[in-house]
Amino acid sequence: MLPPRLQVEQLTFRYDERKQENTLENVSFTVQKGEWLAVVGHNGSGKSTLARLLVGLLTPNEGSVHINGIKLDEDSKWKLRSQIGLIFQNPENQFIGTTVKDDVAFALENMNMAYDEMKVRVEQALEMVGLEDFAEYDPSRLSGGQKQRVAIAGLLALNPSILILDEAMVMLDPKSRKELMETLSNLKTNNHITIISITHDMNEAQAADRILMLSSGQILHDGEPAEVFQKEPTLDVPFAEQLRRELENRGSKVPDGYMTEDEMVRWLCR
């Protein structure tokens, strides 16, 4: 049996060794191949710290991270970083090349990859994110959603098994956000890439297979979106569920329990 894509065991981290206050404490979870996990929580809950621990930018005080069965440590992190990629809020901070294809090829060039193989990988990565017609464009002149897809393509060229997005949609307009969500859904479904999205946006979290909610550096909830939204009253639920609750408060006979956008549309059109 293959190991999980990602296995986190009793992860504990503190920024100041002189203090006993931990940013993360005894965090354990697994993520499988082709699974989409949304990590949510209020400011200061430890979400971004977790993302940096998962890619080896920070070293835990206790606990471990295994990627495809291999422990992440000082000896393995450079090899494992080709298997797990991190996308930040502002993709322009990650751009190197003067054209889209040059930027996607940058990491491959650093690996001294043969030109023919590199060309194929770049073309495949751009096709996977729907930007094959933008190869010669200046990445800085693209829309916000397109810039994020260029950043994702740069990671896809390395053939990763895990993508982590740290608030990657926070600066996007609704159209760009929708396009990026569709890209991620296709990567998960067609390429079986594991996705971990760190987010405040509950509409983004709703698209995930599971939600992991952090509170004060510990896991408060871990379950399907419907389950977590019903259990946790402090979360700003997606719009469809907000509408269901408002209709219920006004005396309408709406279905009991959480509803997705598609379920709400079907119910309204019945």
Angle at 102 between CA 5 and CA 189, to 5 degrees: 30
Give the whole-angstrom CA distance, residue 199 versus residue 83. Answer: 22
3-state helix, strand, coil in the chain (%, to 5): 40, 20, 40
Q: Which amino acid is at 178?
A: K
Average pLDDT over residues 236-259: 84
**pTM, two decimal places:** 0.85
pLDDT score for 68: 93
Mind listing the pLDDT tens digit for each residue in 130-175? 899 999 999 888 888 888 888 888 888 888 899 999 888 877 788 8
Question: In this structure, are strands 162-166 and 194-198 parallel, antiparallel, or unpaired?
Answer: parallel
Average pLDDT over residues 223-227: 92
Q: What is the dihedral of CA 68, 62, 205, 100, to 10 degrees?
A: -60
pLDDT score for 91: 67
- Least confident interval from 87-101, 108-122, 246-260: 87-101
Mind listing the pLDDT tens digit for each residue in 8-37? 999 999 988 777 788 999 999 999 999 999
pLDDT score for 214: 95
Q: Which residue in 154, 235, 245, 157 sits closest to 200, CA to CA?
A: 235
Is the pLDDT confidence value at 94 over 70?
no
